[in-house]
Amino acid sequence: MFAPVNISGLVCPNNVFLAPLAGYTNYPFRELCRRLGAGLTFTEMVSCKGLLYGNEETKKLLVHGEESPKAAQIFGCDPQIMRAACEGEELAPFDLIDINMGCPMPKVVKNGEGSALMENPTLAEKVISECVKSGKRISVKFRTGVTEEKKITAEFARLCEGAGACMITVHGRTREKVYAGAPDYAEIAAAKNAVSIPVIANGGVWSKSDAEKTLAKTGADGVMIARAAMYRPQVFADIASTEPPPMKELFLRQLSETLALYGERFACVFMRKMAAFYLKGKPQAAENKRRLFSAQTTEEVALLAEEIF
């Protein structure tokens, strides 16, 4: 059930992936999840227009190391700009480029990007085929549809494969559901039955048993873990049946790596936020979160982590 997966010659050590998470999947967090057992990790979604115009904040999202395999996720709706980004030096180190066609956020959708492309299949197909011309491995992440009344999962899966995508990830909810409700396993299964490329199931995976259920119900080639990783990255170790290091050790290493890469202010704010996720469900979580968010330096955050984890 949990096994290596081959994506057009790219062999991932297992089929349990870390999803692209806007605002969270920076390099130190991706590395944390990879060390715990994630078979493939994705950057947070990166604007192709931002890359085109050399935006420094956009480039920061693509910080990486020597790890392999690694994937980047991009978004946009102009086929030529998307292809140019795939051909550019910023994306050159990545083994796989994923196109976001599932983001439900209004600021993305109103620009014709993210899940808006599911409503414009002609343009979606053109975007994929142009990106494929870059010579990079191209995958697509999308939803079951825009509304509950019109689910187009299998149809859109065939479109992606026909345009040259070498993998698809299906988030088993429509855009109108955002992240609410149970994923539609039948729709993911329909996508799996419609194509011959690997299909990754996304949505509702919080534990090893959830991952097993998802694979059993969908026949998918793998699962992608999103919000569960933010609350408990050890979920990857659970699925791999390995013993993770203590949370304190994991947190302090992530803090140190984040500080080294992004500087004091970012590291302090970001790691306070991560600590709040990691504390969920723990004794005295509310009080410890209050103390964390009053910390003004990474040194204070580290001292608190030594005490509370």
Active site residue 160: no
Query: Would you give the distance in Å from CA 308 to the centre of its chain?
Result: 28
Q: Name the residue with tokens 């933010």.
A: 230
3-state helix, strand, coil in the chain (%, to 5): 50, 15, 35
Contact 83, 131 (CB under 8 A): yes
DSSP, collapsed to helix, strand or coil, labels residue 99 as strand
Beta bridge partners of 46: 74
Query: Exactly one of 77, 103, 131, 268 is catalytic; which is it?
Result: 103
Distance CA 171, CA 228 (A): 14
Q: Name the residue with tokens 């699962």.
A: 223
The identity of residue 256, as a single letter, is S
What residues are labeled active site?
103
